[in-house]
């Protein structure tokens, strides 16, 4: 396999994820080593459609089940972009089930010297994990730390997210601060 080839089933190359996040202090390997042996941290795979990936998203927001064919079409579109969508998951191999996920989306800019901006989206941890069933750590923190490091290494001048009120402290501990005078606004058309 050449260095640039992405293994068939992955949204992006897992070796690239590991290398980027490892940086100087082997962060990725440390995190992986501290997970229980049945938990694997990796990029989204096409076959995660059968590991309740959509069901996990539905714990977070409106995410109706979709056929494998439609899932595959969207997956392949995201994959074809190559350097925009970084979706990671934690799989519980003992249950063949995705128990945590998060998305880093890269936005290409003209401002800030043609810089990149990162956005965190769809950070979801399976309900049962909120009771620390799987780990002494916190799967949400792991997802956040990996994606934030990835965005930094990719060259983002900033990474942003939208936080519900009750999560402000949680994100604050990971370096995310509310910025004075900035408001999130939306117009909605359908669910």
Binding site for its own copies (CB under 8 A): 53-54, 57, 60-64, 66, 70-71, 73-74, 77-78, 81, 84-85, 105, 107-114, 119, 121-122, 148, 152, 156-165, 168, 171-172, 174-179, 181-191
Closest approach of Cβ 33 to its own copies, in Å? 25
Q: Which is nearer to its own copies, 133 or 153 (CB)?
A: 153
Closer CB to its own copies, 19 or 112, in the complex: 112
- Is the separation of the CB atoms in 144 and 171 below 8 Å? yes
- Show the tokens assigned to 55: 């069901």
Is the backbone of residue 82 left (phi > 0), alpha (psi -120 to 50) or beta?
left
Using the minimum distance from each CB to its own copies, give the nearer residue, 4 or 190: 190
* Nearest distance in Å: CB 95, its own copies: 21
Give the residue among 83, 88, 107 at the shortest CA–CA distance from 161: 107
> From the CB of 130, what's the least distance to its own copies, in Å?
19
**Which residue's CB is nearer to its own copies, number 29 or number 107?**
107
| 97-108: strand order across its sheet | 39-43, 85-92, 97-108, 116-125
Smallest distance from its own copies to CB 135, Å: 24
Looking at beta carbons only, is 92 or 105 nearer to its own copies? Answer: 105
HSE-CB of 1 using CA atoms within 13 angstroms: 8
- What is the C-alpha separation between 71 and 26, in angstroms, rounded? 33
Least separation in angstroms between CB 36 and its own copies:
26
CA-nearest of 117, 122, 62, 61 to 88 is 122
Q: CB 37 → its own copies: shortest distance, Å?
A: 28
Integer distance in angstroms from the first to the last C-alpha of the chain?
42
Would you state the structure tokens that stand for residue 45, as one six-digit string? 């795979």
Indicate the residue among 16 and 117 with the shorter CB distance to its own copies. 117
């Amino acid at each position: 396999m050449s260095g640039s080839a992405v293994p068939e089933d992955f949204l992006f190359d897992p070796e690239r994820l590991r290398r980027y996040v490892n940086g100087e202090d082997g962060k990725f390997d440390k995190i992986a080593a501290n997970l229980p042996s049945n938990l694997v941290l990796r990029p989204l795979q096409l076959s995660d459609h059968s590991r309740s990936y959509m069901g996990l998203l539905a714990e977070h927001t409106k995410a109706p089940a979709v056929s494998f064919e439609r899932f595959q079409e969207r997956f392949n579109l995201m994959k074809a972009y190559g350097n925009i969508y970084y979706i990671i998951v934690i799989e519980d191999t003992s249950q063949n089930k995705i128990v945590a996920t998060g998305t880093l989306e890269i936005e290409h800019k003209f401002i800030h010297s043609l810089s990149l901006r990162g956005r965190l989206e769809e950070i979801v941890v399976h309900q049962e994990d909120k009771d620390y069933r799987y780990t002494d750590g916190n799967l949400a923190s792991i997802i956040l730390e990996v994606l934030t490091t990835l965005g930094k290494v990719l060259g983002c001048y900033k990474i942003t997210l939208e936080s519900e009120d009750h999560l402000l402290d949680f994100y604050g501990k990971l370096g995310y601060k509310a910025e004075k005078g900035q408001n999130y606004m939306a117009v909605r058309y359908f669910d």
